Amino acid sequence: MLDYLEGYRRTLQNAQELVKVAELAKSVCFGKANSLLILAVEEAVKAGMIYSRHFDPNSEEPSFDKYFKDHKFKHNATNAIERMGNLFEEMSNVMMEPIQQKIEERGELLTKEEAQEEYTKAWERLEKFLTALNAEIDEGGLPDANDNWWNQANDKKNKGLYVTLNKGTQKWETPGDITERQYQQSYEIVTGFINRIALAEERSKEPWFQEAYRKWSSEKEA
């Protein structure tokens, strides 16, 4: 039986190593370093999809093979996953931050009865959050998730690796045209995304996440 957890860990490690190589490469050429960052995020989205197979063996992803072959598909999928990552991060904050704050203020863990009461309140907060989110979506969709960057990522990756001729301007374009500012933007977006994927294994073990996923799955199948 294929070990998806091992595949996730190996792929995530490869993504993290590509970021480290990009940090070394920026002293030579920001364009080439930028391309390595984009390759890293391609690996990260693949790691995320592999982990989803480990977390839910019954899940079916008809486009699974595309995560290994189609770069443009991975960029589009990464954008969607980033949106979901932002959403789950907000959900986690809504539910757990007040509880964590209460524990820190008291300097000790909650009793079993207090924990149950706080857990009930956390689900009430989440329901209010999702109600407000649905209203926001009805008015115009989820907030921007670096759409412009993701839409241009594959093109930027190629420009960071190859010399090309811009037929419109009749000028040569080289990896050196990628600026430090563009590299830094990529670095922040890519490392933020990879960090979310790196938390997948830990986050998926949290009871609230498992319960939220169970409810989401049952509603999707209904």
Higher pLDDT, 84 or 24: 24
pLDDT digits (tens, 9 = 90+) for 7-20: 999 999 999 999 99
**Residues 79-95: what's their mean pLDDT?**
56
Cβ atoms 18, 37 nearer than 8 A: yes
**63 compared with 36, residue with greater pLDDT:** 36
| The pLDDT of residue 105 is above 70 | yes
Ranking 87-96, 103-112, 166-175 by mean pLDDT, the lowest is: 87-96
The answer to whether residue 86 scores a pLDDT higher than 80 is no
The C-alpha atoms of residue 190 and residue 20 are separated, in whole angstroms, by: 12
Tracing tokens 């770069």 back to the chain, one arrives at: 71
* Mean pLDDT for the stretch of residues 178-198: 92
Quickly state the pLDDT bin for 109 (edges 50, 70, 90). low
pTM of model > 0.85: no
Whole-number percent of the chain with pLDDT over 70: 57
pLDDT for res 96: 64
Spell out where the chain has E strands: 164-166, 171-173
Task: Please give the tally of structural domains in the chain.
Answer: 1
Q: For residue 220, what pLDDT band results from cuts at 50, 70 and 90?
A: very low
The larger pLDDT score, comparing residue 78 to residue 194, is at 194
Q: What is the pLDDT of residues 151-161, one digit of tens each?
A: 888 899 999 99
Of all residues in the chain, the percent with pLDDT exceeding 90 is 32
For every residue of 98-118, DSSP letters joined together read HHHHHHHHHTSPPPHHHHHHH
Q: Provide the domain limits for residue 128.
A: 4-221
Angle, helices 147-159 vs 30-55, to 10°: value is 120
